[in-house]
Amino acid sequence: MSIDPIQLTQDLVRCESVTPEDDGAQQVLIDAVLPMGFTAEKLPFAEVENVFARLGTDGPHFCYAGHTDVVPPGDLAAWTHPPFAAEIHDGILYGRGTSDMKGGNACFVAAVSRFLEKHGAPDGSISLLITGDEEGPAVNGTVKVLEWMAAQGQIPDHCLVGESSNSTQHGEEIKVGRRGSLNGEIIVRGKQGHVAYQHLADNPVPKLAALVSVLSSYEFDQGNDHFLPTNLEVTTFDVGNPTANVIPATAKAAFNVRFNDLWTAKTLAEKITALLDETGIDYDISYASNAESFITQPGAFTDLVAGAVQDVCGRKPALTTKGGTSDARFISRYCPVVEYGVTNETIHQVDENATIADLEMLTDIYLRVLEQYFGKN
């Protein structure tokens, strides 16, 4: 008997798995896949629960990647329906993780059950890589599971990540890549003093403002066929000065750059440093990045997934690289990867939800992907 994606989504949402807590969510998935013939390996790293489950041992090997951790619900009183109650009202399932991305996990597992019921075991392997660290630091989750998979000879040929990829309805977008992310902090040091005796002080604020202006106005590139232009946003400008008649000693600014595949974090940091050096202003800067840009080039695999989406919902999805980062950035180092899931209109918000119709359609799409992949047209 095939698995009901709605009931499985509810079972997952009712686990209060706010990152890095699991609260039994991964066991819910394990209990769902073991009767289908999967083997499951629990892979805890530090405080993070992870699981790798596989059906079959031969190739081709198709992997679904997802996460069971969710962001905090915020103000519980602001929710119309309790965030972990998984209530259904007027055809809408409410709860934290319904869209991001417990619903996607449930739909894939349900799709596998329908595939097996309809076609029997695949001529190849189906696996699930499920982490509890996607919404957190992303250190003890997918990265380490992939290292374990590589050591065990379990790297898939292709991977589908169930992140919510559409804006308002199915069939809009398949994510075939993501921009990279680079954080930076600039510090300008001066000399504190009285504003009436400015000649005895050294105000760092105008200097920092000049540096920020250089970065904010610079055009790094114009983008390309797959990516938007690289974009730098200043996210804070801090002096920490509570007094109006004191020139501060230091001023700090922070920024984030979302960059395309014309750059790496290293080359981008080098460019930013060169731009700042040209001003002649003394400053200190530090950088941090855990996300390089990546692209799965359009080809047979992207065509297969796009064709499955179009078969089910009647719309040809665009291949895009918009949005934030996801664990696909780690998977891309090992095999071709794309992302497809429900809509992202309410992710991380109060009253996060997914419609019953969208979850059912996603299950049909995932089933069609599996049928196309394993030649069961």
Residues carrying an active site annotation: 69, 134
Beta pairing, strands 158-161 & 193-194? unpaired
Cβ distance 76 to 83 under 8 Å? yes
Token digits of residue 55: 């059906």
Q: From CA 15, how far away is CA 85, in angstroms rounded? A: 9
Exposure string over 54-63, b if 16+ CB within 10 A, otherwise e: bbbeeebbbb
Residue 16: partners with Cβ closer than 8 Å, 6 or more residues away: 23, 84
Cβ distance 338 to 305 under 8 Å? yes
CA-wise closest residue to 357 among 50, 92, 2, 35: 92
Long-range pairs, 267-273, Cβ under 8 A, ≥24: 268/180, 268/182, 268/220, 268/230, 269/182, 269/184, 271/220, 272/184, 272/215, 272/232
CA-wise closest residue to 263 among 377, 181, 175: 181
Q: From CA 223, how far away is CA 276, in angstroms rounded? A: 23
Which SS3 state, helix, strand or coil, does residue 55 take? strand
